Structure 1
Amino acid sequence: MKDSGQDISENIRKKIYTVSVGVTGRCNCSCTYCHYFKSRSRQKFAYDISDSQFDIYMRFIKLCNEYVDGKISYRFSGGEPMVLGERLFKLANKGFGITNVRPFILTAGKAMSKSWVLAAQNSAISHVFVSVENPIFSDPGAPNPKRIVHLIREYNTDKLPIRAGVCVIPTKAFRNLYDICAWFLDKLGYIPLICEINYDSYQRPTENEWMDLQKVLYDVVHDFGLVTPLNLFSSIIPEYAYGGDDPYLFELNLENSHNLSQDNLENKIGEVIKGVHTISYQPLTCPQTECPWQDVCSNTKWYWQCDRVLSREEKLRDYCRFKRITSDAYYRVFVDRNHVETKCSI
């Protein structure tokens, strides 16, 4: 078995795996851009993970941790994991007992309270990442970002770190990106991961919105890049977000899409990990051989080449423009302030 794990990981850079364990399909929010419910019925998935399926997933993670080269962590997600109440803490303790790795929680934070935090502190939960809306164009179905930021500030401790995780911004908010970053820095002392709305909820930016992003991004990187770690549009410029390491995220969902069972876990490791490698970063063949960013465009996150509405070509054109705008901004700030913006496109 050890040789199998070594084969999976040879001749690759350091890999960081995050396993997203779907512990429930229930959610107490109704975000309009939610990709989870774009392809799922809320009614059909209004149930929680069974104890037997959870045990199988934890044993699979334990085996991955033993045989796959790379750092492996796992999180409880959904749906909204907080709706599990006390069972969430029991699952965390059980997961830690099986894997010897403490899980973290990905939540919208709507149900966060003093009693919840105290219970979490006494469980095996390592930390909490709270997805938070931007304060200017917040989604009507999501928790109020000002309230969530207040809760993060109130309940964050060394015993249970609670931090803002991802902040998604619609294209109309590109022009407000500087103000959004400044607000978070003022309220929290750091800027959360800023991400475009993607997956099945992706909307193509208008020409004016592209121009807004191009104008504001230089100032964001210039004014905040040396003050706090910046993680902007990490699916587009992971080379800036992850220090040269390769981040991988894969799901162990309620549907059990990998068909894991007590009898096949060891045999499934190679299949699942190789599938993650193949699907996560798909090869990109670009005709623009003279583009200065070609070396960091050889592979793209899978959803930049797959969309239920847009063609692959349309999605890749947007990816290319995102890549050029963001890379140009970083280059102008940290390398050459006279750098001329890249013009070539896929």
Structure 2
Amino acid sequence: MEDILTINDRLPGSRYGREERKRLFTASVEVTGRCNATCSYCHFFATRDRKKVAYDIPFSQFDAYMHFLRYWKEKIEGELSYRFSGGEALVMGDRLFDYSNHGYKITGIKPFILSVGKSLDQKWVDKAKVNSVSHVFVSVENPINPDKGAPDPKKIIEKIRRLHNEDLPIIAGVCVVPNSNFKDLLFICDWFYENLGYIPAIAEVNYDVYQPIKEFEWTALESNLEAVYKKYYGITQLNLFHSVSPELNYRGSDPYIFSLDLENSYKITIDNYYEKIFDVVENLSGRNYPSLQCENTNCDWWEFCDNTKWYWQGDHNNAKSLKLNDYCRFKRMLNDTFYKLIVDPEHKNNELGIFDCSPVV
């Protein structure tokens, strides 16, 4: 078996001469396949039959995952957190707290929870306060074009305002903005700021339901990015399209997410979790965050392109070349706009795109 001491050398973030930055790891522990929402862009159900995954994670599997995370915390360089996802974790009821308490006992880390917010109420919050839950991130639809299968954003915002407290922060987590609403980005940010006093993370629609960005949508995005930065930079935290430019949203650190899925794809057990760390690291570097291998080292943002998420490398409906070119243009637009408005008014936009993105051999 490979020497555990060398495993950190295989992590993404420092390949091909790029400067190594602090790594922020988040393990997404899928605790259930049940969900009380039907969001059309959900990646969890994009490749799963709802009826076949309508179950909760067995406790023995969860226990093995927690021992794995404790081992990861001990051996892997970087900061580790983990979240309960799915599916909708809150549909598990009080059983979820048995899992969160057990996870905290083993890892010394309290999990946070991803939720669509439908099951949030004062009774649940009161229970969560006395159990091992760090905080709750609630996905909120944009008010212009909410997905028909998701909860009403106005109702969810009201819940967040009413239930948020110091002991258990209830926070608007991610708002998904489709290409057609790039022209409304400033309005969407205004709406959140007026109703919450802050702006949640803004994300694009991706995975297999990704739509190529049209020229007029690029134009609308650029003008709205400029307006949002001018109005809100320094006023509230801005986390805009973090899968494209994590460097703008994590203060130069590199965030990485890996899944410990409901199906236990890694076959992690209480007897082999210390061996499986090699498989997870290999998948993290090779599949989750494959090397971009862009040869355009003259680009100002080349330094930050090694931790590109896998879905930018193409999907079932969009070619790799198309998505990577969109990713490259998206990143240059985000970073150039930020740098020109906030750092250096004389900054010139990076016009060159990706030179070569050959697969790793």
TM-score (norm 2): 0.91
Q: CA deviation at 1:345?
A: 2.8
The correspondence of residues 93-242 of structure 1 with structure 2, limited to 5 A, is: 93-242=101-250
SS in 2 for 1:160: coil
The correspondence of residues 1-346 of structure 1 with structure 2, limited to 5 A, is: 4-9=3-8, 12-286=20-294, 288=296, 290-346=298-354
Q: CA deviation at 1:284?
A: 2.2
Find the aligned partners of 1:73 and 1:331 in 2 and give their Cα distance: 30
Q: CA deviation at 1:95?
A: 1.3
Find the aligned partners of 2:78 and 2:350 in 1 and give their Cα distance: 35
Q: CA deviation at 1:298?
A: 4.5
Find the aligned partners of 1:343 and 1:247 in 2 and give their Cα distance: 26
SS in 2 for 1:43: helix
Find the aligned partners of 1:240 and 1:269 in 2 and give their Cα distance: 29
Q: Is the CA contact 1:5–1:68 (under 8 Å) kept in the aligned structure 2? A: no
Q: CA deviation at 1:267?
A: 1.1
1:206-265 Cα offsets, whole Å, 9 max, x none, are 221111101111111111111111111111111111112121111111110111112211
Q: Which amino acid aligns with 1:186?
A: E
SS in 1 for 2:290: strand
Find the aligned partners of 2:202 and 2:66 in 1 and give their Cα distance: 30
Q: Which amino acid aligns with 2:67?
A: R
Find the aligned partners of 1:324 and 1:274 in 2 and give their Cα distance: 29
Find the aligned partners of 1:192 and 1:250 in 2 and give their Cα distance: 22
Match of 2:17 in 1: none
Q: CA deviation at 1:104?
A: 0.9
Find the aligned partners of 1:97 and 1:296 in 2 and give their Cα distance: 36
Q: CA deviation at 1:287?
A: 5.4
Find the aligned partners of 2:268 and 2:138 in 1 and give their Cα distance: 29
Q: Is the CA contact 1:5–1:69 (under 8 Å) kept in the aligned structure 2? A: no
SS in 1 for 2:314: coil
Cα 1:95/1:291, change in 2 over 3 Å: closer
Find the aligned partners of 1:86 and 1:22 in 2 and give their Cα distance: 17
Q: Is the CA contact 2:113–2:137 (under 8 Å) kept in the aligned structure 1? A: yes
Q: CA deviation at 1:335?
A: 2.4
RMSD (Å) for aligned C-alpha atoms: 1.8
Q: CA deviation at 1:158?
A: 0.8
Q: Is the CA contact 1:191–1:229 (under 8 Å) kept in the aligned structure 2? A: yes
Which range moves more in the overlay, 267-276 or 10-19? 10-19
Identity %: 48
Find the aligned partners of 1:294 and 1:96 in 2 and give their Cα distance: 38
Q: Is the CA contact 2:314–2:321 (under 8 Å) kept in the aligned structure 1? A: no
TM-score (norm 1): 0.95
SS in 2 for 1:167: strand
Find the aligned partners of 2:276 and 2:121 in 1 and give their Cα distance: 39
Q: Which amino acid aligns with 2:140?
A: V
Find the aligned partners of 2:258 and 2:55 in 1 and give their Cα distance: 21
1:133-162 Cα offsets, whole Å, 9 max, x none, are 111111111011111111111111111011
1:15-58 Cα offsets, whole Å, 9 max, x none, are 11111111100000000111111100001111111111111111
Find the aligned partners of 1:293 and 1:14 in 2 and give their Cα distance: 17
Find the aligned partners of 1:63 and 1:184 in 2 and give their Cα distance: 39
Cα 1:287/1:21, change in 2 over 3 Å: closer
Q: Is the CA contact 1:195–1:232 (under 8 Å) kept in the aligned structure 2? A: yes
SS in 2 for 1:27: coil
Match of 2:358 in 1: none
Q: CA deviation at 1:338?
A: 4.6
**Unaligned ranges ≥5, structure 2:** 15-19, 355-361
